[in-house]
Amino acid sequence: MKRARKFFNNINADHYLFKRLAFSLLSLWFWWVVANLINVMIGQLSFFTMPMFGILQWLVLRKYIPHLGRWILASAYGWITAYLIIYVFKIGEKIVEIAPQGYLLILGVTVNIQGVWTYILIMFLASTVIGVFQWLVLRNHIRYAIWWIFASCIGGVARGGAIALVLPIVDPTLVEVIGSLAYGTVTGIALIGLLKTRIQRHLEQQMYWS
């Protein structure tokens, strides 16, 4: 009888842990997406507010990774470096030159192929540079942090592609929001993969001591 009771107690505990873990991971993803959406709105206020996006990202991450204050500076340095590469050193202009030209009809909407490739490559480059700077901080706190660079690359591609595809049909004020939503979704999923073990271990410790 005691063994049966212990067996069912373990099942209930595992089920409870699973629900809490699922909620925590979903919460991480949700607030990460929200933080990136707010960052876009703040960035549209002024050129000088754009490098501050790391603050809201840090507010989300600090719950899961203590002592991550350098994330803010790393993000700002990454943004400034990306800006210099793309605009000051005019890599962005070279990307425009090499992008294939032409038009494509997608669901009745005419899409500029050169514009699509330009947005994708520029966002890919910017997100990769920022991702490298953020990785320099992240690697001191979690294992396999190198995957964050890869996630940032994919997030940049998703953002650039989303912006280019919706640009002809969506109000300009919403274009960056949609792009940020794409980036936040991709990188948020990556954060779930990187932080799942850490979050699960924390929840198990809470259950043990409660």
pLDDT tens digit sequence for 130-188: 999 999 999 999 989 999 999 999 999 999 999 998 888 888 878 999 999 999 999 99
pLDDT in tens, 20-61: 999 999 999 999 999 999 999 888 777 778 878 999 999 999
| Own/partner pairs, 52-57, CB within 8 angstroms, 24+ separation | 52/76, 53/79, 54/134, 57/32
Q: What is the DSSP secondary structure assignment for residue 88, as one 8-state letter?
A: I
